[in-house]
């Protein structure tokens, strides 16, 4: 943001947050346009049963698509957000956001280009949650989040949140994958044994 909008940085406040800090709650009115300069913010929704479903993450250099949409439409947040790591963000007050949209072409381009990019990512996530099978979502998550040794440090409960399913369903699918020799599971850890075969499910 500093590189793209140097004249705006002085007017934007900076906020440092510890991990697991609530950034906004469902029903709240956004007061600032938010761009993460360091760290990661998780945006998620809750079902009627209280199940958490991750919608997307806002990482370094990215803006929050829900905040942007709510500021543009003057609506309240339809979801929640918390910091996953220690996070630093630039905050532009809503009134300044509106003024800059009208007066600054660089800022306007930054906002709408970011909105377009993140919207595409969110739509892909939505399609994955709605159309892809649990087996497919699970395989994709494991492959995308494994380290160089093919290990993913994650609990069954967290996996369920990430792929939008129930813990019992995730555990059942993991057991099937392990029986097929695709993975090896331990408490809080999953090791991928056959990444190429697993990729055929993703």
Q: What is the pLDDT of residues 60-81, one digit of tens each?
A: 988 899 999 999 999 999 999 9
CB neighbour class for 134 (10 Å; exposed up to 12, middle 13-18, buried from 19) = middle
In which band, very low, low, confident or very high, does the pLDDT at 10 lie, cut at 50, 70 and 90? Answer: low
Class of domain 134-199: mainly alpha
The average pLDDT across 69-98 equals 93
Query: 44-58, 67-81, 175-189 — which is least confidently predicted?
Result: 44-58
- Enumerate the domain spans of the chain: 6-130, 134-199
Q: pLDDT at position 42, please?
A: 94
pTM of the model: 0.65
Token output for 84? 């996953």
Q: Which residue has the tokens 């399913």?
A: 165
The average pLDDT across 47-59 equals 81
Q: pLDDT at position 107, please?
A: 85
Q: pLDDT at position 129, please?
A: 66
Percent of the chain at pLDDT > 90 equals 46
CA–CA separation, 56 vs 42, rounded Å? 6
CA–CA separation, 62 vs 65, rounded Å? 9
How far from the centroid of its chain's Cα atoms is residue 154's Cα? 16
Q: What CATH number should be reported for the domain whose range is 6-130? A: 2.60.120.10
The average pLDDT across 7-30 equals 86
């Amino acid at each position: 943001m500093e590189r793209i909008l140097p004249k705006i940085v002085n007017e934007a406040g900076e906020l440092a947050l510890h991990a697991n800090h609530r950034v906004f709650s469902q029903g709240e009115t956004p007061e600032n346009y938010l761009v993460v300069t360091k760290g990661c913010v998780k945006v998620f929704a809750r079902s009627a049963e209280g199940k958490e479903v991750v919608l997307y993450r806002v990482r370094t250099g990215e803006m929050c698509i829900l905040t942007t949409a709510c500021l543009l439409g003057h609506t309240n947040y339809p979801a929640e957000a918390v910091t996953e790591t220690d996070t630093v963000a630039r905050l532009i007050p809503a009134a300044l956001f509106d003024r800059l949209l009208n007066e600054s072409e660089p800022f306007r381009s930054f906002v709408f280009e970011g909105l377009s990019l993140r919207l595409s990512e969110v739509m892909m996530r939505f399609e994955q949650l709605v159309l892809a099978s649990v087996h497919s979502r699970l395989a994709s998550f494991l492959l995308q989040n494994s380290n160089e040794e093919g290990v993913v440090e994650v609990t069954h409960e967290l996996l369920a949140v990430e792929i939008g399913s129930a813990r019992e369903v995730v555990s059942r699918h993991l057991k099937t994958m392990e029986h097929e020799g695709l993975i090896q599971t331990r408490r809080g850890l999953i090791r991928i044994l056959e990444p190429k075969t697993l990729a055929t499910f993703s």
